[in-house]
Amino acid sequence: MNTLSLNPGVKMATVPEDREGQRLDNFLLGQLKGAPRSLIYKIIRDGQVRVNGKRAKPDSRLAGGDEVRIPPVKIEQADPNRAPPKSMLERLAASIVFEDKALLVINKPSGIATHGGSGVSFGVIEGLRALRPNEPLELVHRLDRDTSGVLVLAKKRSALLQLQALMREQDEADGPDKQYLTLLVGKMPSGTMTVNAPLQKSVMQGGERMVRVDSSGKASVSHFTLLERRGGHSFCKVRIETGRTHQIRVHAAHIGHPVAGDEKYGDREANKKLASQFGLKRLFLHAASMQFALNEGKSPYLLNAPLAPELNAVLDRLLGE
């Protein structure tokens, strides 16, 4: 890495019309190239960033023409000769499950972050841009580092804006239909259990995100459907009506059946047993499918990602119990 450099002076940035609806944190990541997400959260939290003269939150949505005050910050300049490791690029190339003129879709492997930052040098977006240097790829949404499954990137600005608008409409049940597969600790009741519990997100020192059920949080709804019980645990399908950070993991823990392998919100003893006896070395959460339509409903998409082989292997071992 090169030495630290100081961006001189406060910068005032006008939000372009085609960035209408973009989150403040993502806008700043584009303005402060190379800045870790933890730094972005800190300068917002400290009130150094202002939108039209007022304090704002990281998830505040910007409008075209907004004036954003950006303070001078120290940014570690990346070595231009550094590149994502070849092994990572090979995994990402092999993970592509769909592509057309507008979208690129991968079955994101567990353990690869969606983007770099907070101690992660390279994520999916950096890797795919290295693989496709001449394509203007943009992330449509995010998945937790340890979650696998459907991750959508836009190849066209028009597709990105449409999908971002759909994501914002998710709270009104008009957004993409997202379905996950998960193994929950313990025996869930048969049928479907709906969890309607508001979630409050906190950003810890260093940028780590923690989420809890809190009446003052944002409305959050998840539907857990039991598919089958294996080895005293519950293999479930989950449909989410809202797209909150860590939503499925926190809702599952809230009902007393945390996601297997969840080190942040899960059951430590159950995780140890699942790891030692059944080989579960990761979070058992997989984004299985996403369905939506672009171009005013004229271009429907149903995107699927098969369950990761290591998760299928755990289910097979549990079947023997």
Report how far Cα 314 is from the mean position of its chain's Cα atoms.
24
Mark whether 316 is an active-site residue.
no
Q: Which CATH number fits domain 4-76: 2.60.15.10, 3.40.50.300, 3.10.290.10, 3.60.130.10?
A: 3.10.290.10
Query: Considering 144, 146, 262, 267, which one is annotated as catalytic?
Result: 144
Same fold, 86-160 and 172-319: yes
- 53-70 residue pLDDT tens: 999 998 888 888 999 999
pTM of model > 0.85: no
Question: What is the token pair recorded at 52?
Answer: 């039209």
- Nearby residues of 282 by Cβ (< 8 Å), 6 or more positions away: 110, 111, 146, 261, 310, 311
Q: Which sign, positive or negative, has the C-alpha torsion 259, 265, 269, 274?
A: positive
- 18-49 residue pLDDT tens: 778 888 988 888 788 767 777 888 899 989 99
Which band of pLDDT confidence, cut at 50, 70 and 90, is reported for residue 6? very low
Residue 4 has pLDDT above 60, yes or no: no
- 203-256 residue pLDDT tens: 776 667 789 999 999 999 999 999 999 999 999 999 998 888 899 999 999 999
Whole-number pLDDT of residue 40: 87
Question: Thinking of the domain 86-160, which architecture would CATH place it in?
Answer: 2-Layer Sandwich (3.30)
Question: Thinking of the domain 172-319, which architecture would CATH place it in?
Answer: 2-Layer Sandwich (3.30)
Domain segments of the chain as ranges: 4-76, 86-160, 172-319
Average pLDDT, the chain: 87
